[in-house]
A and B are shown apart, each in its own frame.
Chain A
Amino acid sequence: MVGYKFCEKFVAIQVDGNYKLTVFGEEPRPAYDRVHLSEFFENQDAKKLELAPLNWYKENNIELITGERVSAIQRDLKKIRTSSGKEYTYDYLVLATGSLPFVPPIDGVDKKGVFVYRTIEDLEGMLAYAGKLKQENPEAKAAVLGGGLLGLEAAKAVMDMGLEPHVVEFAPKLMPRQLDSRASDVLKLKLESLGINIHLNKATRKILGNGSIEGMQFGENDSLATDMLVISAGIRPRDELAKSCNLAMGDRGGVVVNNKMQTSDPSIYAIGEVALYNQMIYGLVAPGYEMADIAVEQIIGNSDKQMTEDIDMSTKLKLIGVDVASFGEPFMPAEKGHSILFENKTKYLYKRINVSHDGQKLLGGILIGDASDYNMLHQIYLNGMDLPENVEDLILGARSEGESSFGSAMSLPDTAQICSCENVLKQDICGGLLDGKTANLKGVIAQTKATTGCGGCKPMVTELVNETLKSLGQEVKETICEHFEYTRQELYGILKVKKVQTFDEAIDVCGKGHGCETCKPLIASILASLYNDTANKEVVIQDSNDKFLANIQRNGTYSVVPRIPGGEITPEKLIVIGEVAKKYDLYTKITGGQRIDLFGAELHELPAIWKTLIEAGFESGHAYGKSLRTVKSCVGSTWCRYGMDESVSFAIELENRYKGLRSPHKLKGGVSGCIRECAEARGKDFGVIAVEGGWNLYVCGNGGATPKHALLLAEQIDNETCIKYLDRFLMYYIRTAAPLMRTAAWLDKLEGGIEQLKQVVVHDSLNIADELEQEMEQLVDAYECEWKQIVEDEQLQGRFKHFINSEESDDNLVFVPMREQKMPKAW
Chain B
Amino acid sequence: MDVLTSAYKTVKESEVNVWFEVANAGDFPKDGGVCVKYKGKQIAVYNFTRKGTWYACQNVCPHKLEMVLSRGMIGDENGIPKVACPMHKKTFSLETGENLNGDLDSIAMYPVKVENNIVYVGFSE
Contacts and interface: CB of A to CB of B under 8 A. Distances in A.
A803 B35 contact: yes
Contacts of A413: none
A544 B27 contact: no
Interface stretch (A32-40, A244-252, A548-556): A548-556
Contacts of B73: 516-517, 520-521, 540-541, 543-544
Nearest to B82: A516
Main SS at interface, chain A: loop
A543 B35 CA distance: 18
B23 A799 contact: no
A25 interface: no
Interface string B65-84: 11110011111111101101
Given A539-B29, A547-B86, A806-B37, A552 B68 contact: yes
A810 to B, nearest CB: 5
Interface in B70-110: 71-79, 81-82, 84, 86-87, 89, 91, 103, 105
B34 interface: yes
B87 A513 contact: no
A544 B87 CA distance: 7
B48 to A, nearest CB: 8
B4 A812 contact: yes
A482 B82 CA distance: 14
Interface in B20-77: 22-23, 27-32, 34-37, 42, 45, 48, 50-51, 60, 64-68, 71-77
A517 B67 contact: no
A514 interface: yes
Given A482-B78, A514-B76, A540-B29, A804 B84 contact: no
Contacts of A803: 34-37, 42
A692 interface: no
B86 A552 contact: yes
Contact of B81 (A52, A514, A543, A804): A514
Contacts of A548: 71
Contacts of A806: 37
A85 interface: no
Contact of A804 (B27, B75, B86, B105): B27
B87 A805 contact: no
Nearest to B78: A482
Interface string A787-810: 000000000000100111110101
Interface residues of B, number: 43
A802 B81 CA distance: 23
Nearest to B64: A827
Nearest to A824: B66
Contact of A540 (B4, B31, B60, B65): B31
A827 B62 CA distance: 12
Nearest to B104: A53
A25 to B, nearest CB: 19
A515 interface: yes
B81 A805 contact: no
Given A53-B103, A552-B86, A804-B35, A547 B71 contact: yes
B36 A513 contact: no
Interface in A514-573: 514-517, 519-521, 539-541, 543-544, 547-548, 552, 554-556
Interface string A810-822: 1010000000000
Contact of A805 (B37, B51, B75, B82): B37
A87 interface: no
Identify the interface centre among A50, A483, A516: most chain B CB within 10 Å of its CB. A516
A312 interface: no
A544 B65 contact: no
A386 interface: no
Contacts of A555: 66
Given A547-B86, A556-B68, A516 B36 contact: no
Contacts of A812: 4, 42, 60, 67
Contact of B50 (A504, A519, A804): A504
Nearest to B66: A556
Contacts of A53: 103, 105
Identify the interface centre among B4, B34, B75: most chain A CB within 10 Å of its CB. B75
Contacts of B84: 516-517
Nearest to A47: B103
B67 A810 contact: yes
A140 to B, nearest CB: 32
A516 B67 contact: no
Nearest to A52: B103
A224 B16 CA distance: 70
A514 B75 contact: yes
Nearest to A811: B40
B104 to A, nearest CB: 9
B79 to A, nearest CB: 7
Identify the interface centre among B28, B35, B45, B82: most chain A CB within 10 Å of its CB. B35
A804 B56 CA distance: 13
B55 to A, nearest CB: 13
A516 B75 contact: yes
Interface in A486-533: 504, 513-517, 519-521
B35 A516 contact: no
A805 B42 CA distance: 11
B5 to A, nearest CB: 12
A660 B120 CA distance: 40
Identify the interface centre among A539, A540, A547: most chain B CB within 10 Å of its CB. A540
A466 B78 CA distance: 22
Given A539-B29, A547-B86, A805 B23 contact: yes
A483 B75 CA distance: 10
A547 B68 CA distance: 13
Contacts of A540: 29-32, 73-74
A504 B71 CA distance: 20
Contacts of B22: 804-805
A539 B79 CA distance: 23
A810 B65 CA distance: 13
21 contacts: A514-B48, A514-B51, A516-B75, A516-B82, A519-B75, A520-B73, A539-B32, A540-B29, A540-B32, A541-B73, A544-B72, A556-B67, A556-B68, A803-B34, A803-B37, A804-B27, A805-B36, A812-B42, A812-B67, A827-B1, A827-B65
Interface of A: 50, 52-53, 482-483, 504, 513-517, 519-521, 539-541, 543-544, 547-548, 552, 554-556, 799, 802-806, 808, 810, 812, 827
Interface of B: 1, 4, 22-23, 27-32, 34-37, 42, 45, 48, 50-51, 60, 64-68, 71-79, 81-82, 84, 86-87, 89, 91, 103, 105
Given A552-B68, A804-B27, 13 more contacts: A52-B103, A514-B50, A514-B74, A514-B76, A516-B73, A516-B77, A544-B71, A552-B86, A802-B67, A803-B34, A803-B37, A804-B23, A804-B45
10 closest pairs, A vs B, by CB?
A544-B86, A516-B75, A517-B84, A540-B32, A804-B34, A806-B37, A515-B75, A514-B76, A556-B66, A803-B37
